[in-house]
Amino acid sequence: MNHTTNSVPDPAVLQATRARAANWPFRSVLIANRGEIAVRILRTVQALGLEGVVVYHAADRKAPAVQLADQAIEITGATPVAAYLDAKQILAAAKSSGAGAIHPGYGFLSENAGFARAVAEAGLIFVGPTPEQIELMGDKVRARAFVEKGGFPVAPSAIEDDDPATFAERALKVPFPLLIKPAAGGGGKGMRIVREPGQLKAELERARSEGQRYFGDGRLYVERYIENPRHIEVQVLGDAHGNVVHLFERECSVQRRFQKIVEETPSPALSPELRKRICETAAGIAREAGYRNAGTVEFIFGAGGEFYFLEMNTRLQVEHPVTEMITGKDLVLEQLRVAAGEKLGFTQEQVTSTGHSIEFRIYAEDASRGYTPTTGPVLLLRPPQGEGVRVDSGIVEGQDVTAAFDPMLAKLIVTGRNRAEAIARADKALAEYALLGCITNTAFLRRLLNHRAFVDGQVHTGFLDAHPEIAAQPELDQATLCKLLAASALMTKPMRDVADLVPDMHAAIGSWSN
């Protein structure tokens, strides 16, 4: 469930929007997603006086979103993931429920232009950008060419589509090291780093094979790889009336396998001048595309302050809560407002940043074993609470954590007046986060949080690879190990049976008492 320490949005904004929502072209929103993001979207939908509908696979029958929704419709599939990717089934659920709009959340169908088009053809409203904008930015090659044509910074590169026959030859002319990327890729899949010219041919073949396997598209491009860069992204919002604003940046440099683990805002790497430049660049790219709804423009940021366009995600991001906490803006509310045809609820001058916010992704995984996913029943769940603590969660006690989905269980968002206070609050919150039944990464996150380089803000995308000791499980001292083994032994059934056994002499007394 969600715990917040301040109101997002301002109660007056919510009340005014709720009054107008009564006249929106939809009164019911189907959430085509699951887990914590389904709960998050549902919270704003219902706060606006709209009906919230969720679809769910049987594996999620006990999930909080299913219990909180005004309507819950079961969907089926060969696998649980397949059910959430079944566009026809989801559209049928929307029709049967009377929903007038579909919010895709993130992942699954959120960046599927075909689904967005099918929603519109069904006479429903897609809460997101247009299919054309999804197609433009979803194709990494087209997006890069579009951004470069607009005069925005891109890294030196070679693109296979320009001339497939000379692609390898042109790639060799890009300064090494190189980063190979699938044109239709995302989430780090198919990406390869090449440091020597002799490795290029073999790595191109591997990347092409992975791109075809994961995305059904083997096209590639190669760009200069920036060593130990930072990953900085900018939240943008646009409406159908030509208004585009940014809501400042988020730093997402702490990653494992190209997947983010910790995100924060403001970035400790940016001066006010750099912050203005990178945020205005992102807004300019969105404006050039005539972008509508929520999106994120991502950049690679070098040690010398140079930055290059990486990609644009045409959806709500996992890490959007940190932006909400420092701006006081409800991004889901703005998405719904734009989908209803309204103008954005504020101008660029009205977007201000206060404090510092950090998000930690709570994963069911064992960091000490290569971040291996873990499974098990949720036997006990006690999320932390307190000043500046927000937990967006998609699980409850009694639910099973399985290998059917991504291992992210929840998000811990901690906000303070400054970065030092946010870190101190986060350390306490992670220490108090209790989830029994499967191994989670909370202890690993505390080790990361307390590492001197993180405290100093000196991180980059290769930080965890450079510091494997953070993921390693610390060895217990002998005294602590003995205490834990003794406690475990005392909790076993044979020991409990002996402890609870009534001696024969006392049992013979029966119910007699004096």
Share of the chain above pLDDT 90, in %: 81
Q: Which residues pair with 224 in a beta bridge?
A: 178
Above 90 in pLDDT, residue 6? no
Angle at 39 between CA 34 and CA 43, to 5 degrees: 145
The dotted CATH code for 227-354 is: 3.30.470.20
Query: What's the whole-number mean pLDDT along residues 402-421?
Result: 97
**How would residue 7 be classed by pLDDT, with cut points 50, 70 and 90?**
low
Average pLDDT, the chain: 93
- Encode 147-216 in three state secondary structure: HHHCCCCCCCEEEHHHCHHHHHHHHCCCCCCEEEEECCCCCCCCCEEECCHHHHHHHHHHHHHHHHHHHC
Q: What is the pLDDT of residues 449-469, one digit of tens each?
A: 999 999 999 999 999 999 999
DSSP class of 367 = G
Residue 317 CA, distance from chain mean position: 5
Above 70 in pLDDT, residue 292? yes
**How would residue 161 be classed by pLDDT, with cut points 50, 70 and 90?**
confident
Query: What's the whole-number mean pLDDT along residues 382-386?
Result: 96
The dotted CATH code for 156-224 is: 3.30.1490.20
Residue type, 13: V
**What distance in Å separates the CA atoms of residue 133 and residue 140, rounded to the nearest whole number?**
12
Q: What is the pLDDT of residues 85-141, one digit of tens each?
A: 999 999 999 999 999 999 999 999 999 999 999 999 999 999 999 999 999 999 888
pLDDT the model gives residue 484: 84
The dotted CATH code for 11-127 is: 3.40.50.20
Q: What is the pLDDT of residues 175-206, one digit of tens each?
A: 999 999 898 876 677 889 999 999 999 999 99
pLDDT the model gives residue 186: 66
Above 50 in pLDDT, residue 3? no
pLDDT the model gives residue 227: 86
pLDDT the model gives residue 512: 67
Above 70 in pLDDT, residue 2? no
Above 70 in pLDDT, residue 5? no
Q: Which of 451, 379, 387 is nearest to 425 (CA)?
A: 387
- Who wins on pLDDT, 375 or 507? 375
Q: What is the pLDDT of residues 476-492, one digit of tens each?
A: 788 888 888 888 888 88
Q: What is the pLDDT of residues 417-434, one digit of tens each?
A: 999 999 999 999 999 999
**How would residue 513 be classed by pLDDT, with cut points 50, 70 and 90?**
low
Q: Which of 214, 215, 237 is nearest to 316 (CA)?
A: 237
Report the SS3 class of residue 361: strand
Q: Could you state, in order of their start, the residue ranges of all structural domains in the chain?
A: 11-127, 156-224, 227-354
Same CATH topology for 11-127 and 227-354?
A: no
CB–CB of 102/94 below 8 Å?
Answer: yes
